[in-house]
């Protein structure tokens, strides 16, 4: 099965439009074996999204400039906004010899390797998807959220990596349902603004390293 990955950058796009485009690509992959796998990067205007098993009680308040959308991915509530790189792989898992567990592990590995190139050490927490810093300490904080949907072994949704994100928007939610852990960004951890095009290029390189060079 073809492992070709086609990279697409949607720039800034509202969440629902991106969701609909992903659904369309997923359907194309289901019916047309000639379609490549798609790796989409996008930045969303302010939005809170709640996964299919999420708890609306984790929304503490809804600011007037933020949308609220219930979605068909795993995970609880999270925030998307400017300065955050959102990555949506629409992949055939069979092409990469992965089940969903290995796929999510690989997404986390992409992020861990990406942020390591900025001198930031990422880790995993058992039973808590995403990438964390200092996970076993009181300073535990999440730098990347992951939420995935898989249908007929084809994926959509993906991960959101905080780069220059305004973290104050996370104060209105219990991010991913946690009340005892914080959030952070590459800008906070490195003490400088992150060049987004360079970050996207690193993410693409790490996807190729993990998914194509296995």
CA distances from 94 to 109, 118, 157 (A): 19, 32, 17
Closest CA to 25 of 4, 44, 39, 12: 39
Residue appearing with tokens 């084809």: 154
Among left, alpha and beta (phi > 0; psi -120 to 50; other), residue 93 is: alpha
Residue 162 contacts residue 196 (beta carbons within 8 Å) = no
Active site residues: 176
13 burial (CB, 10 Å; 0-12 / 13-18 / 19+) is: middle
Q: CA-CA distance, 84 to 186, in Å (whole number)?
A: 10
29 burial (CB, 10 Å; 0-12 / 13-18 / 19+) is: buried
Residue appearing with tokens 């992150």: 194
Would you call 87 helix, strand, or coil by DSSP? strand
């Amino acid at each position: 099965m073809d492992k070709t990955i086609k990279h697409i950058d949607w720039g800034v796009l509202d969440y629902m439009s991106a969701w609909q485009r992903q659904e369309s690509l997923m359907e194309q992959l289901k019916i047309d074996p000639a379609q490549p796998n798609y790796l989409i990067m996008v930045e969303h205007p302010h939005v809170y999204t709640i996964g299919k098993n999420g708890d609306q009680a984790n929304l503490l308040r809804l600011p007037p400039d933020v949308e609220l959308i219930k979605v068909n991915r795993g995970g609880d509530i999270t925030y998307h906004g400017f300065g955050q790189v959102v990555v949506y792989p629409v992949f055939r898992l069979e092409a990469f010899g992965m089940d969903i567990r290995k796929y999510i592990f690989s997404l986390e590995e992409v992020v861990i390797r990406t942020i390591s190139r900025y001198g930031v050490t990422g880790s995993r927490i058992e039973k808590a998807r995403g990438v964390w810093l200092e996970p076993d300490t009181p300073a535990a904080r999440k730098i990347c959220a992951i939420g995935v949907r898989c249908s007929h072994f084809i994926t959509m949704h993906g991960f959101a990596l905080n780069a220059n994100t305004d973290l104050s928007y996370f104060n209105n939610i219990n991010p991913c349902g946690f009340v005892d852990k914080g959030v952070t960004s590459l800008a906070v951890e490195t003490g400088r603004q992150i060049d987004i095009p360079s970050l996207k290029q690193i993410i693409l390189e790490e996807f190729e390293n993990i998914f194509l060079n296995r």
